[in-house]
Amino acid sequence: MRATAKAHTNIALIKYWGKRDESLILPTNNSLSVTLDGFYTETTVAFNEALKQDQFTLDGQSISGVQYDRVTTFLDLVRDVAGKKNLYAAVDSVNKVPTAAGFASSASGFAALAAASARAIGLSLTDQELSRITRQGSGSACRSIYGGFAEWEMGKRADGSDSYAVPIAPVDHWDIRVAAVVLNATKKKVSSREGMKRTVDTSPFFASWVESNPVDLNGIKAGIKHRDFEKVGEIAEANCLKMHATTLGANPPFTYLQDTTLTVMQAVQAMRANGIPAFFTIDAGPNVKVLYLPENERTVEKTLRGIPGVTDVILSKSGQGVTYL
Ligand code: 2P0
């Protein structure tokens, strides 16, 4: 009745931006990511008949409120699948995702929680089944089940049974690197959940965002297959810019890009002009992630550290999928 799982966070190269069903967490487009070895969550789940409710500690602190509610709502789902309605759990999570780096810890967090809780309650799930359940904790988490590159297939069905991630290429297929650029920036005002919703509901650019997705997706999959870094980088950077463009058309309009974000974007493009292949991608926040190849690591790190407003640069390789400890 007890299991421990480790899951890494991931960075989307083709972004998930928009839901067609908010409670089941069903997206309006496929997305594709690379799992990162530098950032992870380890979670132990112990179901215990003596417990009257779930307990949740994160980095040794007892958690209540919205974060606790998201965990218990997710465990209800696992209990439901296992047919063990009133069996509560003690959940103990340790997060190795520095919040300053601007990665959503919800991806590694829900992937580790899903894997540990499913195993602890005695469910034996395929990766696809695990990914489908994980999706209902947090959308991007469903891609963290796999190492290397993974694609979340949006699915068509209203019940979400065909919406889960699948592996695209394992971690040893291609050694591409990601630098997380930490910026001197202000806290974001619009959460990704709220930002996504506002964009879907009000942005006239949203329809074209969805429409242009299959071309980006097919192009990047071909690029990954042939280890074509320029192609993958160009598509990832353009896809990220399209996502951010949708927010400017929302009502009320908003953007996650800050002045320091733009400075880093321009520095990355200047590196390219100087012959160093490097490309940026940005999630629902001000921080920038830079894609590069191992042979350029020193130059890329040095250049990024020299940009005004950059407070840290954290380098990562691509990482493994879920493991059990
Ligand atoms: C992604 N993001 O594909 C995109 C790119 C942000 C920008 O997934 O509501 O925390 O839990 O499904 O997964 C952030 O949203 O949202 C996200 P929910 P999530 O990585």
pTM: 0.97
Taking only the tens place, the pLDDT of each residue in 227-264 is: 999 999 999 999 999 999 999 999 999 999 999 999 99
pLDDT digits (tens, 9 = 90+) for 36-79: 998 999 999 999 999 999 999 999 999 999 999 999 999 999 99
User: In angstroms, what is the span from residue 18 Cα to ligand 1's centroid?
Assistant: 9
Q: Is the distance from the beta carbon of residue 109 to the nearest atom of ligand 1 less than 6 Å? A: no
pLDDT at 154 over 90: yes
Enumerate the CATH 3.30.230.10 domain ranges in the chain, comma separated: 2-172
Given a cut of 80, whether residue 268 has pLDDT beyond it is: yes
The verdict on the CB of residue 140 being under 6 Å from ligand 1 is yes
Residue of 18, 10, 9, 12 lying closest to 239 (CA atoms): 12
Where does the pLDDT of residue 188 fall: very low under 50, low under 70, confident under 90, or very high at 90 and above? confident
Q: Is the CB of 31 under 6 A from ligand 1?
A: yes
Model pLDDT, residue 97: 86
Question: Which pLDDT score, from 0 to 100, does residue 104 have?
Answer: 75
**Count of CA atoms in the C-beta half-sphere (13 A) of 187:** 3
C-beta 199 within 6 A of ligand 1: no
Averaged pLDDT, 105-124? 96
Mean pLDDT of the chain: 96
25 lines ligand 1 (CB under 6 A): yes
**Closest approach atom of ligand 1 to CA 135:** 12
- The residues, ordered by sequence, that sit 6+ positions from 131 with a Cβ below 8 Å of its Cβ are 142, 143, 145, 146, 152, 164, 165, 166
Phi-psi region at 207: left, alpha or beta (left = phi > 0; alpha = psi -120 to 50): alpha
Atom of ligand 1 nearest to the CA of 283: 7
CATH superfamily of 177-316: GHMP kinase, C-terminal domain (3.30.70.890)
Is residue 309 predicted with pLDDT exceeding 90? yes
Reported as a single tens digit per residue, the pLDDT across 203-222 is 999 999 999 999 999 999 99
Instruction: Give ranges for CATH 3.30.70.890 in the chain.
Output: 177-316
Judged against a pLDDT cut of 80, whether residue 98 lies above it is answered with no
* Cβ 108 under 6 angstroms from ligand 1: no
Classify domain 2-172 by CATH number: 3.30.230.10
